[in-house]
Structure 1
C-alpha cells in the first residue's frame, strides 16, 4: 500500500442557474485533475447551481435541475476512477440542505434517490448526513465554507477521530485584505493537530455584487504547499499536490496531549470505500514542498478584483462596452483606471493563448477578426468617457478628464449641460413664478441644494441617453453599460444625490473607501504610467455644483460633508465591524482621538455623523449595485440590513452621551488631584522643576484643617451620620494624606480644577499639554537646525549648536505674536557669531511661557453687615443681568422713537418725550456705575473692559444731558428753533445708539447665538481692509468720471442748485420723470461733496489769499464745475416748464 496521495482542488467561474455552463466547467476541472494524477477532486460550494442563486435555492426547479446535472456527471466517463466532491441543494424530510455529494460517500441514514439517479447507480438509497469517508489508505472528511470560520470548527473533532484529509468547498467572496485571514485560518486548522487541508472556492461574478476570488490552496501540517490565483480570467483552475500521509502521522505522534483528547472525542460514522487514493508504487513520486504565500497589496486587489468583475459582467450582459461620466476627480478617475486595468488583463490573457477571452472580445466589439494589440486600442473600442460640463465646472477638471481619457485611450466626449439645466428650471419657473438662487447669490440652503441636484440628475439622464445611442450614432450595434463612481464613504454619509450619476448600471468602486482609492491612484501612476493622475491626486475632491469664484473652485467635498474621509472611514468601521451605536462609538473615539479632539468635540462629531447617516439612509435603497470590497459597506441589499427610516434626533442615545460627557470631563479634571507634584501648578519640564516650597510650621496645618473640615462635612452629610464619629472614612483619609503636608497641593489643585471647569471641551490646550508640546517642538527644531548646519558645512561629526544666522532666517518665516518675536530676535542677536547650545536655545523661547492670567483686584472690605449685604447684591451677576435688561428696554424705546419720527424732519419732531426717557436711563446708568464702584472698588471696576465702556458711555450721556439742560432748558423759547439744539439732539441720539453694543454683549453667552456672534466679529475684523478699498474705489471712480466724461454728458440743469436752495422745504418744487438721474438726485448725492473739495483744494493751491477765502465761502457743485458746458434755458423754455408744473395753474 502506498503512502503518497495526489489531491486536487479547484476554483471555478460558475454562474448562478447557468446549468449548461456549470456542468461544462465541472467536467473540465475533473478532466484536468485526472490528467495530473489526482484521485480526489474537490469543487466549490453549490457549484452545480451556482453559489449566488440566493432565494432560487428554495425553488423545487433548482433541485430538479441539479439532480439532472448530477445524472450527467454520473454517466460521464470523465468521472470514473476519481472521487468527485460536488456541491448542490438536496431536500431531505422536507428540509433543504446545502450538501456535498461525494460519489460513494456519507452513510448515516438512508436517503431515497430520485428515479433518474437510481437508473444510473442501481441504488435506491444512499447515506445522508454528517460522516467521514474511509478509503483503503486514509480517511477524508468535509466541512462547509462557514465552518472554517466558526469558533468550534468540525475539523477539530474530525482530526481527533483520525481524519487525515480535510476538504472545504467554499463560496468565499473577495474583500480587501481578507486573503490574510483566510490563509491564516487554513494554516491554523492543521498547525496544532496536523493533517492535509484542501480549500476550493468559486471565482468570478456569478450575477451579484460579489466577486469570488478563487484562491484555492492545499496545506499540510500548517504549511502551504500549493497556491491558486486570486484573480484571473480563466474559467477553470485546478490545483494539485502530491503529499505524504506519513508526514501527517509523524506530526501527530509528537503530541501526547492529542492522544488524550482523541480518546475522549466523539466518533464519526465511517463510510467505507473500496478505493485507495495512493498508488502501490509511489517511491519515486516527489512530494510538494512548503511555499511562501504571495499576497496582493490592497492597491493590487483594487486593480485586479473589480476589473475581473467588470469583465464577467460585460461578457455575460451582452452589451458592447462601458460609458463613464468622467469628472476629472479621484472617484471617476479611479473607475476609469479599473476599466483600463481590465483591458490590460484581457490583452494579457489573449497573449497567453486564451481563446475563450478572445472570442468574447470579438463578440463585444462586433468584429470577428479583431485582435487587440494594446490595452489602449481595446479601451478605445469598448470604453466611452464623457465630461459633462456646466457653468460651475472649472478648466482644471476639464483638462484633467481630457488628458486621462487620452492616456488610457477611451473614446472621449465633451458635453455641456447648461441648456438642459436651464430648460428644467425654466419649466419650474413657469409653473411657480420663482427662480431659485445659489447660496453664494443670496439663496437659501434648500434652493442651493435643489440647484445642485438638478445638475446631477440631468447628468444621469444624459449618461443613459449617450449609453443607448452613442454606438448607433457611429453606425455600430449594441449599447453601453453606465458606470457609477460613488465610493463607500460617500454612501455611508449619504453624500450623493438620489438618482444622479451615482445611479448607474454597476459601480466598481462603490465598496472601496476614499483612502484606498487614493492609494490605488498612486499605484496606477507608478505601474500604468498615467502621469495625469498626479494632478488629479493633488486636487481637492469637489462636486463642482456651486458657482466658481474668479474661475476657482470654492466647494469641496469634506467641507460640504462636515467631516474628513479619514473620519468617515473610522465611523464606518466602528458602526459596522465593531457594531457600535452612538454611545459605544463615543466611548471608543474619546480614546482614539484624545490627541486631536476634546471629549465634547468627539461627542459633537459622533452626533453629527449619526444624524447625517440616519437622514440619508434612504438613499441606500436605490444605490447602484457595487463591487463589494470593504467589510463596512453600507449596502442594504445584503451586508447592512438596517432600516432606512430613523428617528434622526436619536434623543435617548444623544442624551446618554451628554450625561457621560459630564462625567468624563469630571474624571479628567480629577486627574489633577493624583499627580504629585501637580504639573498644573509647577512646570512640566523635570529639568527646570525646583523643589516644592515648604511653608512655615502652622500655615500648612491650618490649610489642612480647613480642607479636612470641608471634606468631613461633605462625607458626613452624604453618609447621614453624626459628625465626629471615629468610624468615619475621612479619618483614614486624614491619616493617609493630610498628615503628610500635602494640603498645599490639594488646595492648589482644587482651585485649578475650578478654573479649568470653565473651559469644558478645551482641555487639550491646557497649560500642561501646550508646554509639553512646545518643549518637544523646540527640542526637535534644535536637532533639525543642527542637521541643517551639518549639511551646509559638510562636517560629518554632530554639531553641538546652531548658528544665530540660521535661527534668524527661520524666525523670519515663523508666525507668532510680534512682541514675542521681537524679544526672541533681540536675544538671538546677542550671540553674534557664537553657536547657540541646546540649553540656550530652549531658554530663547521661555518668553512664550510668561503669559499671566490677569487677577481681579480684591473688593473693598466693609465692617458694617448691611453694607456687606449690599456689596454682595450689587456685585452679583444678577445685577449685571438686570442692567442688561434695562439696556434692552432703552434700545426698544430708541427704536420706537426712530420709527415714529422716521418720516419727519428733525426740526419738526417733538423730542421732549425722548428727552425725558433719556434722563431716566442716564440716571439709572449713573446709579449703576456708582453702585458697582461701591461693591467692586475703583480698581475692580476698571479691571473689566465692559465696565469701562459702560462708564465712559454714561459719563458722555450725562455730559450731553447737562450741557443741553443748562444751555437750553432755561432759555425762554425752548424749541427746535433754538440755535444748536437740533445738532445737540442728533448727538444724543447717536450716543444712545451705543447702548445697543452693551446689549449685544450678552449674545455670545447664549448658546445658540454664540457661533453667530463669533462669526459676525470675525467678519467685522475682516471688513476693515474691505472698507478702505471701497473708499479708494469710490473716489477714484469719481475722478476718472470727471476726466472722462467732461463735456460728454450734460448733467440736469441746475438740479443741485434747486435742491440746495430748497433744502429746508418739505417738498422740492420741480418735477422729473420717475427713475431718472434728476428724480433720484444722483449728481448732487454722489459728486457735489467731492466736487466742492476738489474745487477748494485747487483754489487753495493756485489762487491768491483773497480768492482762497472766497473759494472757501462758496460751495461748489458738479454743475458749477461744468458751467461752460451747461446751456442756460431761455425765457420761453422757463414759461413752458412753469405751465407744465402739476401744482401751478397759470393762465395761458
Structure 2
C-alpha cells in the first residue's frame, strides 16, 4: 500500500544519506522525500557547483579586468572592462539559484532544525548582504570602489561542502592551542625587539649607526626587521651591518634565530599536527556515526513493512524488501553488487539489525581495482613472446632506453648552448628523436601484444606512456611532412604553425616528461607519488579552504591598495614619499613585482603564491608598501599567519599522516602487483574509529524531529 511505498522510499533516502555521510534530520513525507532526492540528484548538484564556479570566476572579468596577455601594466593595452549591468546580470542569476538552494534546504530540514543550523542562517545573511550590495552597485551605476559581496563570494563554496565545514571546524578547534604558541612567538619577538633597540641604539658617530638607521630606528621598524629575520633565517640583510661592526653581535642573532625558528616554529608544527589530527579524527568519527545512524534508520523503517509478534524481542527485515530498496538506491555499483551477492547466498529470508548493519559494512572497505588477466596464447612461439615482453625486465630495459634518450638530449643541448640559431644544426636532435620514438612505438605494441589491450590500459603508467608515445608520433610525422627527413645541415625555412626548432623543442620536452614513467618501478618514489596523488584526490576540502582564503585576501588587497602603487613610465612622480618608494623598490630590484601585485586578481594570486614559498620577497614587498602606508603591515602579517604559519603547517601535518599511514600499510601488507587499493580520508582513519553502540543509535533516532518510530 501507500504506507509500504513510503517506508521503501524512506529507507532509500536513509541509505543514500549514509553513503554520503549526510544528516538524516529532514522531512520524511512523500513529497519532501521526492524533493530531497531531486535536490541531491547529480544534475541539481552540478548546476549548483557550476553556479558557484561562475560567481567566483566573475572576479577575473569585473573591473579591474584580468583579460590581457601581459600582466605588466607598463606595457599592456587597456584591459576590456564589461559594461555596467553585464556581470551584475550574471550575478543576479547566480543569486537566484542560491536563493532557491537555501529555500529548499530550509524547507527540508524544517523550522525547528533551521534555528539550530548556523550555516543556513549565515547563508541567508550572506545572500541578504550580497543582494543589498548588488542594489547599491546598480544605484551608483557600478562606480563604487568597495563591493562587499565580492569578499563574501567564497562563502558559497564553503557552505556547499560538508567536508570543508568539518575541516574548518577542526581548524577552529585547533586555534586555541595554536594561539598559545603564537603568543609565545609574539613574546619572543617583543623581548628581542627591546634588546635590539638597546643593543643597536643611536650613537654620536653617525657612520656607525647603519644597523640603527636601517632596521632599528623605532619600535615598528624593529618589530618588522626581526619578523623578517624570524621568517627568513637565510636573509643576511638584518644582521650583516651589525656583524661587520662587531662579531659579538652575532650571538644576539643566533639566539633569536635558534629560539624562534628551530624551537618555536617547529613546536607550532608539532602542536598543529597533534591537535588538528585529533579534531579531524573526531570529525571522521562523527561521519561514521552518521553512516551507522542512516543504516539503522533504514532498518527501522523497513521493519515496519512486516508486523512482528508482540512478544518478539527483535525486529527483522525481509531480504526481498532490501533487494527492492537496493534497486532504487544510487550507490557505487561495486558495493551494490557485493551486497546483492551476500543477500542471494543468505540462508534466511529475514535479517536482524546486526546482519543488516554488517551487510552495509561493504561501504567502509577499500575500493579494490583488479587488473584484467593477460590473454592466453596457444602458440608456443607467442607464449615465449608474451613471457619475454610481459616480463618486468622488459620495462626496465625501456627505462634504460628512456634514460639514454635524456642523456643524448642533454649532450646535444650542451654542445649547442653557445651557438647562434643560424649556426645550429638540428640533424642530431632530429635523428635521435626519430630513433627513440620508433623504439617507444615498438615497445608499446609489444607490451599490448603481451598483456592484452585491456590489461595494458588498466595501468595508469601504461596509459601515460602510451598517450605520450602517440603524441610524439603525431608530432614527428607532422615534422617530417612539413620539413622533410633529417639530414646534415637540416635548417629549413619557417613553415606552418611552428618552426623546425620549435617542433624539436616540443618533442624534447615531451620526451623529458615521459621519463616520469620510471616512478612506478621505484618503490619508495612510487610511495611518495601515490601519497601526493591521494592528497590531491582526497583532501580537496583543504584545497577548497585555501581557495577561499586566497580569494578573500585577493579581493581585500585590491580594494585596500587600489591606486597605492603607480607604475613607472606611466606617470610623473609627485611628492618625495612616492619618489622614496620607487627608489627603494629599484634598489631591491622588485619594482616590477610591486607594480604587478594589486592591479588585478590574477596578479595578486600569482604574487601571494610566490610569497607563500619565498618569504624574503614577501617581506621586502612589505617594507616597500610600508613607505606608503604603515597600516598595510597588518594585512600582510595576517596573510603570513594564515597562509604560511597555519595553512602550511596543516598541510605538513596531513602529508605526514597520509604518508605514515601508507608506510604502515606497506610494511604490514604484502604487495600484490595486480591489486590497487583506493582510500578516502574516512577510510584512512578507519582502524582507530570506535563503532557507535546500539543504545546511542536508537537514542538519536528517537530524537528525530520528523520520524516517529513505532517501538
Coarse TM-score class (shorter-chain normalised): 0.3 to 0.5
Normalising by structure 2, what TM-score? 0.34
More helix by share: 2
Q: Which has the higher contact order (CA 8 A, sep 6+)?
A: 2
Q: Which has the larger radius of gyration?
A: 1
